[in-house]
Amino acid sequence: MSSAAQDPRRRVRVRAPGKVNLSLRVGRPGADGYHPLSTVFQAVSVYEEVLASASDTVTLTAQGPGSEQVPLDDTNLAVRAARALARYAGVDEGVHLHLIKGVPVAGGMAGGSADAAAALVACDELWGTGLGREELGSLAATLGADVPFSLAGHTAVGTGRGDLLTPAMSRGEFHWAFAVQDEGLSTPSVFRAFDSLHGYRPDATGGAPLERGDDVALMQALRAGDAEALGALLHNDLEPAAVAIAPRLAEPLAVARDSGALGVVLSGSGPTIAALARTASHALALAAAFTAAGVADRVLTAAGPVAGARVVGVGE
């Protein structure tokens, strides 16, 4: 009998972080249309929370910034995660998932993936399925390319579609300011624009794994805890494509540079712009510069790296 069945009043709260791509390199699409990726993820202290409680079916509600944009049906990654775990573990119970949004919606910071990772951990605890992190990681990989990293957190290199993870050494703490836009960017549209800029079409000559040598200096900066060196090495192959689709993104990029950011980069497929700061107080100053210039609908500050999806509360 699962824990939920033993005590229907039980509640599990799980927190999972958003991410920033310190580097994102994109190759030619293969015949299946997918692009090989090489990326360096850092989990940052902007969080999604999932509150899981017993239910006869799988249901979902959401609150927080942008929650009105979140689908509440079976297309939601958190719902898919709960159903995937139930199938895998042979659980015939439901769950009510309540999302508390903190990561920008459709912002390139993997908020949906964080929801999925949190849902996996929450349901595993609620149902008492007792799966290890390796099994949860395998399930995570079936849900989306960023879900395994949302589960693992910290700093990692992602290859394949970004889902094949190798933990990376990182020393110290890095401070960030984020310029958030209310209007998200569609990841497929950004990749289409990327292909158009490079003249790429899906074919059998694409899809080859990318070499990771381009990020050797970046990895050295992380190991040394050298924020200044890291800032100079931030890179995203998708940035020109995102700016081509949404020219307004050139403005927060320029504001961050003019305000003394150590580096500035589009996070994932955007539209969130991430500015690396010298200190926590400098991150606040960068956020204030975004606000004063009117180039962001919302600003956030955060530090990284932080842990992946974790239980932060169990009770009634």
Active site residues: 19, 146
- What is d(CA 147, CA 212) in angstroms, rounded to the nearest whole number? 21
Best CA proximity match to 159, nearest among 120, 102, 208: 208
From 51, 57, 65, 44, select the one nearest 14 (Cα to Cα).
Answer: 51
Give the dihedral of Cα atoms 117, 118, 121, 126; nearest 10 deg: -140
Cis, peptide link before residue 8, omega less than 30° from 0: no
Question: Which residue type sits at 133?
Answer: R
Cβ distance 159 to 209 under 8 Å? yes
Q: What is the dihedral of CA 254, 259, 262, 264, to 10 degrees?
A: -30
Query: How many other CB atoms sit within 10 Å of the CB of residue 226?
Result: 17
